[in-house]
Amino acid sequence: MTRALLALLIVSSAQAEEPAVRHARPDRASGGSAAVVVDEGVALVHTAQLFPASGANEPASQIDSVFNALDAVLRAGESGLDRVVKLHVVVERADLAPLVREAFAKRVPDRDGPAWTFVVGKPARPGALVAIDAVATTDAKPAPGRVESPTNIKLLPVSRRGFATLPAGARVFISGQAEPDDDLAAATRKTLESLENTLKHLGMNRDHIVQLKAFYQPAESAEVVERATAQFFGEKAAPPLVLVEWKSPASLPIEIELVASSPDPAPKDAEAIEYLTPPGLSASPVFSRIARVNRGDLVFVSGLVGSSETTGAEQVEAIFADLKAILAESGSDFRHMAKATYYVADDDASKALNDLRPRHYDPARPPAASKAAVAGVGLPGRSIEVDMIAVGKP
């Protein structure tokens, strides 16, 4: 065998074994990574928000119960806990967050962990202390635009799917939309209608939705949102739904964002991300109404917080400095951010975010985004958390 042929075989073998998932700053002690990069050709399972089984009362039993549920749903989606790339967790108290991390690390030992985001608030089930939804890689290979979303998951009401599979191909992130109405059910229906109109502008429909995330109030009204969502989708089970309690004026009791799969391949000359504004909605220099990811690896960044007991402005600046470094390590940058969720726990942090974002963002390329006022961000002394999805640079 010639040296040239041997070298070619070595290179080919290395390329074949190149992992579809890469971790930035993995920390096995904490069970997580600063970011997880997923190859653009890999399909992803998005789960519904999962809760502990009834009868589980103590924190440890609730956490164990919800991970059992998550494991079952992921297995149904040809995935597993060892393939999770992002965990989004709502905890009633900040001191529960380390327990959740520890429980997950014990279930998936000796592996680099996922990106994490923690939000403090009341989970959308009476008595629940924790609620979790996940994104994970899967062996399923649905065609672009075809969302695989079985309904035979017994852990959830039949009105909602337990998971949906986001195929490879163009992915669409739509910013949170909110239609005013003092009645939560009516506001939910109007907002879903508005989102459907946005999808129609893209040549898409409700069948392409992979996950809905609703920020709502009051906390005890989760069933109102679920029922209104089920009624909107009618005979078809609603997509996976995530619920997060927020604080908002009474006339805007809910905001909903979504992830969808586009059935149309991107033109070969299209940019990796297109930032779009549908008719009837205004453009903004700090967030886009729609981010359509045409190509590129997805970068899931763990929720970022600043230093403890500092001002809102200091926290925001520290977060953006950390985000810049993590994106660079992950092969991305501020011009390739696709979706942001900003969790703010006080007015100082909220105002600082509004003031400082324009200094960091390209006004022609801001990510799709939602900003939610919440009770806390999972760590004491912090009042803002930035949850980001980016795309690897071409």
Q: Does the pLDDT value for residue 110 go beyond 50?
A: yes
The stretch 79-95 carries a mean pLDDT of: 97
Give the C-alpha separation, 160 to 229, whole Å: 9
Q: What is the pLDDT of residue 240?
A: 93
More confident residue, 265 or 56: 265
**Residue 107 burial (CB count, 10 A):** 15
Q: What is the pLDDT of residue 1?
A: 44
Does residue 91 lie in a domain region? yes
Q: What is the dihedral of CA 56, 62, 68, 72, to 10 degrees?
A: 80
Q: What is the pLDDT of residue 17?
A: 39
The stretch 336-349 carries a mean pLDDT of: 96
Percent of the chain with pLDDT over 90: 80
Does residue 265 lie in a domain region? no
Quickly state the pLDDT bin for 88 (edges 50, 70, 90): very high
Does residue 64 lie in a domain region? yes
116 Cβ contact partners less than 8 Å away, ≥ 6 residues apart? 31, 32, 86, 87, 89, 101, 302, 303
Question: How many angstroms separate the Cα of 3 from the Cα of each of 9, 10, 164, 182?
Answer: 10, 10, 48, 74
CA atoms within 13 A on the CB side of 234: 3
State pTM to two decimals. 0.92
The stretch 110-125 carries a mean pLDDT of: 95
Quickly state the pLDDT bin for 323 (edges 50, 70, 90): very high
Q: What is the pLDDT of residue 150?
A: 58
**Per-chain mean pLDDT for the chain:** 90
| Pair of tokens at residue 262 | 């586009």
DSSP, residue by residue, 161-173: -SEEEE-SS-EEE
223-280 per-position pLDDT tens digit: 999 999 999 999 888 999 999 999 999 999 999 999 999 998 888 889 999 999 998 8
Is residue 34 within 8 A of residue 301, CB to CB? The reply is yes
Q: Does the pLDDT value for residue 140 go beyond 50?
A: yes
Q: For residue 84, what are the domain limits?
A: 20-141
Q: What is the pLDDT of residue 380?
A: 87
CATH number of the domain bearing residue 133: 3.30.1330.40
Quickly state the pLDDT bin for 15 (edges 50, 70, 90): very low
Is residue 241 within 8 A of residue 195, CB to CB? The reply is no
The stretch 192-206 carries a mean pLDDT of: 96
The stretch 352-362 carries a mean pLDDT of: 95
Kindly state the DSSP code that residue 94 receives in the 8-state scheme. G
Classified as helix, coil or strand, 323 is helix
Cα 232 to chain center, whole Å? 22
| Pair of tokens at residue 161 | 């799917």
Does residue 214 lie in a domain region? no
Report for 12-26, 71-85, 133-147: range of highest mean pLDDT: 71-85
DSSP, residue by residue, 340-359: EEEEESSHHHHHHHHHHHHH
Quickly state the pLDDT bin for 343 (edges 50, 70, 90): very high
Q: Does the pLDDT value for residue 9 go beyond 70?
A: no
Does residue 356 lie in a domain region? no
More confident residue, 145 or 338: 338
| Pair of tokens at residue 392 | 């690897």
Q: What phi and psi values does residue 169 have, to the nearest 5 degrees? A: 115, -165
Does residue 321 lie in a domain region? no
Is residue 125 within 8 A of residue 51, CB to CB? The reply is yes
Does residue 197 lie in a domain region? no
The number of residues making up the chain comes to 394
Buried b (16+ CB within 10 A) or exposed e, 184-209: bbebbbbbbebbbebbebbebebbbb
**Residue 5 burial (CB count, 10 A):** 9
Q: For the chain, what is the domain count?
A: 1
Kindly state the DSSP code that residue 376 receives in the 8-state scheme. B
Buried b (16+ CB within 10 A) or exposed e, 215-252: bbbeeebbebbbebbbebbeeebbbbbbbbbbeeeeeb
Beta-strand pair 298-304/32-38:
antiparallel
Q: What is the pLDDT of residue 7?
A: 39
Q: Does the pLDDT value for residue 152 go beyond 60?
A: no
Classified as helix, coil or strand, 273 is strand
Cα 146–208–389 angle (5° rounding)? 100
| Pair of tokens at residue 382 | 């912090």
Question: How many angstroms separate the Cα of 251 from the Cα of each of 213, 247, 280?
Answer: 19, 11, 20
Does residue 222 lie in a domain region? no
Q: What is the pLDDT of residue 151?
A: 52
Q: What is the pLDDT of residue 301?
A: 98
The stretch 164-179 carries a mean pLDDT of: 95
Q: Does the pLDDT value for residue 6 go beyond 70?
A: no
Q: What is the pLDDT of residue 160?
A: 62
Is residue 135 within 8 A of residue 171, CB to CB? The reply is no
Asked which of 27-31, 207-211, 239-243 is least confident by mean pLDDT, the reply is: 27-31
The stretch 203-219 carries a mean pLDDT of: 95
The stretch 136-146 carries a mean pLDDT of: 84
Q: What is the pLDDT of residue 235?
A: 84
Kindly state the DSSP code that residue 108 receives in the 8-state scheme. S
